[in-house]
Structure 1
Amino acid sequence: MKILYGVVGEGMGHAIRSAVVLKWLLDQGHQVQVVASGRAHAYLKSRVPRVDQIWGLTMAMEHNQVRRLATATDNLRGALEGWPSNVRRYFEMVGRFSPDVVISDFETWSWLFAKVHRIPLICIDNIQLINRCWHDDAIIGQEMDEFLLAKSIVKAKCPRAAHYVITSFCEPPVRKKRTSLVPPILRPEILNATPTHGEHLLVYQTSPTFSDLPRLLAGLQRPVYIYGLRREIQEDQRQGNLVFRPFSETQFVEDLASAAGVIASAGFTLMGEALHLRKPFLATPVGGQFEQLLNARYLHELGYGTYSRSLGPNDLVDFVDELPRYRQALQSYEPRDNSALFARLEELFDLAESGILRSRRVRWLGWGDAAK
């Protein structure tokens, strides 16, 4: 089967998870053409063949907060050069690759290609959880306006696909047809890791907002391995109980598998990996990204950890004190591999070959019903 696979470039989690799916597709003998924007392009180009670069939307960040005006301005500027480039890529693709199925990881170029050519479209991502599942009032909280805004954006991103496969560590009720929930997509390094119970905390933070975090962590009286805050370093730097580390995938997985707990943003990829290894998690959701707040609140509701929107010394002390309770709750979390996702894809591919799997049409492209 010929498959066009689109990967959004904002946030490396999409690229990391897509690489796992792409390897499986290639191992199954499928012909795959990838289009990716941003950092996802470089990441995937070094791991799979046939990766084309396209322009995609970006987010402007400051103080661990999405800046909406700056985001809009940056994307308008980028579109002046990006859209013509995307149009060129489109016509190049039409001339050399005719896919049977399109897969989109929250990526719009591939979605548009599928719609124009009426090719079955499968969406694989975690963000559609916002729109296609029911969420209790405790999860939405006081941020109803933020939730509705995020829901409208997600709904408009890749509307009326043939099927939505949502990766999730929680299981809220599905409210829309053509939707499947599967466990988080995990790298082989995580699946092959053996969790142990060390004393250290693993911290992954890249935002300058957390420049004061080392001073707070120094008071915890236990080892702390910190990634991201000193991105320019080439070797470990020790400062009391703190160890600043350059990024190494092998070392990072080892530190994660042996950690007592994890402190990081509420991004889905690392959270899913930590829960698979049954590691308590203190999340610091990025402001203006309701998807991260959603992850953090489900984490808290399930008892696997907690979250703080303005991390302070009391949050760190409370997290350490509650580690035994979080570890106990995590005993109920069932570590699972990627087999459920792969089995669902095989079923969807069979439906596509038989002509049963079809994407819904959208009126504003010139046919069918309005997006739902």
Structure 2
Amino acid sequence: MARILYGVAGEGMGHAIRSRVVIEHLARTHDVQVVVSGRAHDYLKARERDHLGVNKIWGLSIVYEDNEVRNFRTVLENVRGAVAGGWPRNVKAYFDLVEEFRPEVVISDFETWSYLFARTHALPCISVDNNQIVNRGEHSPEILAGHEADYLVAKSVVKAKLPGCFHYLIATFFEPRAVKARTTLHPPVLRPEILAARAERGEHLLVYQTSTSNEALPEILRGAGRECRIYGLRRELKEDLRDGNLVYRPFSEATFIEDLRTAKGVVSGGSFTLMSESVYLHKPMLAIPVKKQFEQVLNARYLEALGYGVSADELTAERLQAFLSRLPALEARLATYRQDGNRELLGHLDRLVAEAASNGASPDPLA
């Protein structure tokens, strides 16, 4: 049994959903302490078990407006959070863990604090995320076309996030060539509820949109000619609200997965988690990435290149109809996708943890 410190980025829920699966797997045979910020803390805390502790820390956040990252407001909000108590809270958590837990291995899902803990204490750090594909994969000019500058910026940011890890496990449904050492690509980590779901071909569209800036969205969806089950736009709802062929739903994990497994198609942003779940269940997706989020653009571009869906800069009636007209071809292509649960990544991680714990290897700062 190894003592593992596991860091989870708190921005968005994708990191928490993936990390929940990995952490529960590790906690069966290891002693695991988790550090996590934001909404992800509550999600993981609710699943706390023996040999598993979930500790809340302050983390960076991103400000979105009109389906676009607002850089200046993001900086202001994070500075305000740090001054108001974020950093002191992290420092206290740091010393508490040093004294009480003394981890042997660190695993980071794109989380900085745990990585810095590993570097400070010369501990091996294993990276498990999807973001490192930006820096450690080779992407063709066709995939990057029109976003070359954004790619260089994103690559620099991702490279600086967790340099010199013991190994990089990258979860991905697309497979560009890995161009750096100690890097392996694996199928996405899927929550057990998705693995247990059995896809059926329904007639409705599952729509997940959190931005309210597109005032034409309801009218666009009315033109779909089929029922649209919409999540994210009416967060105050306690029960379904029907407006013609539009059904606004309050969020429920079980209902959402049921709507996903029986959907004809999915309309959403460029989130890797929902995209990888849609691919696994063979559901075509119309992806509208958040502006200035290059990783989402990359996900959507590969989705389209593989024939699993369509990428669009914004949702319009014309783009929605073009997506609907391509559904048969997209379904045929998705039918070829296969994934053997989470065995590949988790099996490799088990071997890495054993190796790292026995060797006590420290990170290579030059990698």
| Counterpart AA for 1:71 | T
Greater relative contact order: 1 or 2 (C-alpha under 8 angstroms, separation 6 or more)?
A: 2
1:102-141 matches, cutoff 5 A: 102-141=106-145
Partners of 1:320 and 1:189 in 2: CA distance: 27
Partners of 1:3 and 1:120 in 2: CA distance: 10
1:85 to 81, 84, 89: 89
CA contact (8 A) 2:123 2:360 kept: no
CA contact (8 A) 2:122 2:361 kept: no
CA contact (8 A) 1:211 1:229 kept: no
**Counterpart in the other structure of 1:366:** none
| Counterpart AA for 2:73 | A
Structure 2 unmatched runs, 5+: none
CA contact (8 A) 1:276 1:336 kept: no
SS in 2 for 1:83: helix
Partners of 2:353 and 2:336 in 1: CA distance: 33
1:62 to 61, 65, 68: 65
**Counterpart in the other structure of 1:18:** 19
Provide Cα deviations, 1:48-107, integer angstroms capped at 9, x if missing partner. 241111111111111000011111111111121211211111111111011111000000
Partners of 2:120 and 2:131 in 1: CA distance: 24
CA contact (8 A) 1:163 1:359 kept: no
Partners of 1:138 and 1:32 in 2: CA distance: 42
CA contact (8 A) 1:267 1:292 kept: yes
Once the two structures are TM-superposed, the CA of residue 356 in structure 1 deviates from its matched residue by 6.9
1:1-372 matches, cutoff 5 A: 1-27=2-28, 29-48=29-48, 49-80=52-83, 81-355=85-359, 357-361=361-365, 371-372=366-367
Structure 1 unmatched runs, 5+: 362-370
Partners of 2:26 and 2:312 in 1: CA distance: 38
Partners of 1:123 and 1:340 in 2: CA distance: 15
| Counterpart AA for 2:65 | E
Query: TM-score if structure 2 supplies the norm length?
Result: 0.97
CA contact (8 A) 2:6 2:114 kept: yes
Query: TM-score if structure 1 supplies the norm length?
Result: 0.95
SS in 1 for 2:213: helix
159 and 10 in structure 1: CA distance in 2 versus 1, 3 angstrom threshold: same
SS in 1 for 2:254: helix
CA contact (8 A) 1:195 1:258 kept: yes
Provide Cα deviations, 1:204-226, integer angstroms capped at 9, x if missing partner. 01111234311111111111111
CA contact (8 A) 1:111 1:158 kept: yes
CA contact (8 A) 1:196 1:257 kept: yes
SS in 2 for 1:208: coil
| Counterpart AA for 1:41 | H
SS in 2 for 1:269: helix
Identity of aligned residues (%): 52
Partners of 2:88 and 2:363 in 1: CA distance: 27
CA contact (8 A) 1:26 1:32 kept: yes
CA contact (8 A) 2:123 2:361 kept: no
Aligned length: 362
Partners of 1:95 and 1:335 in 2: CA distance: 42
* Cα RMSD after superposing both structures: 1.1
Provide Cα deviations, 1:99-123, integer angstroms capped at 9, x if missing partner. 1110000000000000010111001
Greater CA deviation, 273-282 or 303-312? 303-312
135 and 243 in structure 1: CA distance in 2 versus 1, 3 angstrom threshold: same
SS in 1 for 2:151: helix
CA contact (8 A) 1:119 1:359 kept: yes
Partners of 2:351 and 2:256 in 1: CA distance: 35
Once the two structures are TM-superposed, the CA of residue 307 in structure 1 deviates from its matched residue by 1.2
Partners of 2:347 and 2:167 in 1: CA distance: 14
Once the two structures are TM-superposed, the CA of residue 350 in structure 1 deviates from its matched residue by 2.3
Provide Cα deviations, 1:301-344, integer angstroms capped at 9, x if missing partner. 00111111121000111111110010011122113310001110
Partners of 2:272 and 2:104 in 1: CA distance: 30
CA contact (8 A) 1:348 1:357 kept: no
Partners of 2:4 and 2:356 in 1: CA distance: 11
Partners of 1:318 and 1:143 in 2: CA distance: 23
Partners of 1:208 and 1:177 in 2: CA distance: 43
SS in 2 for 1:332: coil
